[in-house]
Amino acid sequence: MYCKNCNSSNIFKKKFNFDFYSHRDFSKIISSNTYLECRDCKIIYSMKTLFLKRLYKKIFAKKKLVTKSKDIELIPKFNDVNIYQHFFNKEIKNKNNLRILDYGNSSINQLKDYSNFFYNTKIFFYDIAISKDYLFYNKKTNTKCIITSNLKKIDQKIDIMISFNSLQYYLNYKSFFKFIKRKSYLKTKMYITTPSIDINKYFFLLGDEYLKFSKIGLINFLEKNLNKETKLLKRNYLSTVNFALVNFNKNKKLRKAKKVNKLDAIHKYLNQKSLQIKNLNLKKTFIFGTRVNSYFIAKYLSNFGGLIDDQINKTVKKYRLLDKIYDKDILIMIPYMGIKYNMIKKILIKKKFKNFFQI
């Protein structure tokens, strides 16, 4: 067996007997999964490619333009400002005369919003699931926009490439990188985010992803496929994901490979957590959050009261809104670490809840 990314035979296989969830509504999609990890390039990928192909056919079937209010509500915010606004303000200093490509985005509202930030610019959104091109011209900023599923329509070299949270689904990533190479030139900068299994190990349980990225895995993956210098950006507005920048005017440097074995480490972590939770002997306990972390914990908790969240989450059904809970003495478990845990803690204290703990 060889690594699909770098052809190395130094490859490690591991089976995970855990429930794996959909990234959309966290419903269970499969009860075990097998992954490969390359010891040389550190890439981790699912062996269930046929299963994923079938799944993607359903998820990414051609649809009409996703539009209006729904998608804007799903855009993550930091300090009540949409993430991409922080991104434009912080990372892109010159906002004039650019060609921008957002690969894997089909939101009309976001496209229109983007066009207000730039002048004399051309903005391309590419998404596989678009059935018909959508064109938009912003008179005020003289910026032309298009949403398309036809790569031929992207007929210029691109200055700013954006790939937010989609790389992990690309079964056919080689053709993606081929296209990116064709559209890049010396001034191109590419910004990529993916879920980070370093920052949140439960992201590993998103069963519809093909690739799993640690920080070092993402850098190696990008450098191997694009041959350009890649670095990780540390930003507080994007602290829960891997955030990488590829600079097309510099070739990649040689890196010393570190010995890591993420698959074993994550498997051990999930095992220990599931045992720890099974052995808890608590009164009725609520779990904070409506994402994969909380679903994992809920499965093993014996006296589970339900999920709670401080924000409306339209993609899941069963949970209670924090503001609607009047008994401030209920027991709440928080399955998050670091910055995210501190944020939740602050919210609970502010809302006068007394009994909560981290797991």
Element (H, E) at 181: helix 173-183
Least separation in angstroms between residue 340's CB and Zn ion is: 31
Least separation in angstroms between residue 8's CB and Zn ion is: 5
d(C-alpha 295, C-alpha 126), whole Å: 32
Residues with Cβ < 8 Å from 281, sequence gap 6 or more? 302
Judged by beta carbon, residue 221 or residue 288, the one nearer Zn ion is 221
Residue 118's nearest CA partner among 93, 148, 135 is 93
- Confirm if 32 and 47 have CB atoms less than 8 A apart: no
Judged by beta carbon, residue 8 or residue 272, the one nearer Zn ion is 8
Judged by beta carbon, residue 259 or residue 324, the one nearer Zn ion is 259
Judged by beta carbon, residue 33 or residue 225, the one nearer Zn ion is 225
Q: What phi and psi values does residue 23 have, to the nearest 5 degrees?
A: -75, -10
Residue 344's nearest CA partner among 271, 286, 273 is 286
Strands 44-46 and 77-78: unpaired
Strands 285-288 and 331-334: parallel
Element (H, E) at 69: helix 68-73
Task: With H, G, I as helix, E, B as strand and everything else as coil, classify residue 64.
Answer: coil
CA 122 to chain centre: 26
Task: With H, G, I as helix, E, B as strand and everything else as coil, classify residue 280.
Answer: coil
Judged by beta carbon, residue 162 or residue 167, the one nearer Zn ion is 167
Least separation in angstroms between residue 40's CB and Zn ion is: 5
- Confirm if 225 and 246 have CB atoms less than 8 A apart: no
Least separation in angstroms between residue 211's CB and Zn ion is: 12
Judged by beta carbon, residue 1 or residue 312, the one nearer Zn ion is 1
Q: What share of the chain is helix, strand, coil (3-state, %, to 5)?
A: 30, 30, 40
d(C-alpha 291, C-alpha 104), whole Å: 22
Least separation in angstroms between residue 216's CB and Zn ion is: 12
Least separation in angstroms between residue 213's CB and Zn ion is: 13
Least separation in angstroms between residue 225's CB and Zn ion is: 11
Residue 244's nearest CA partner among 260, 232, 255 is 232
Least separation in angstroms between residue 24's CB and Zn ion is: 29
Task: With H, G, I as helix, E, B as strand and everything else as coil, classify residue 166.
Answer: coil
Residue 78's nearest CA partner among 86, 66, 70 is 86
Judged by beta carbon, residue 204 or residue 221, the one nearer Zn ion is 221
Judged by beta carbon, residue 40 or residue 310, the one nearer Zn ion is 40
Tokens of 329: 């003495």
Judged by beta carbon, residue 41 or residue 147, the one nearer Zn ion is 41
Least separation in angstroms between residue 250's CB and Zn ion is: 23
- Give the footprint of Zn ion on this chain (CB under 5 A): 3, 5-6, 8, 38, 40-41
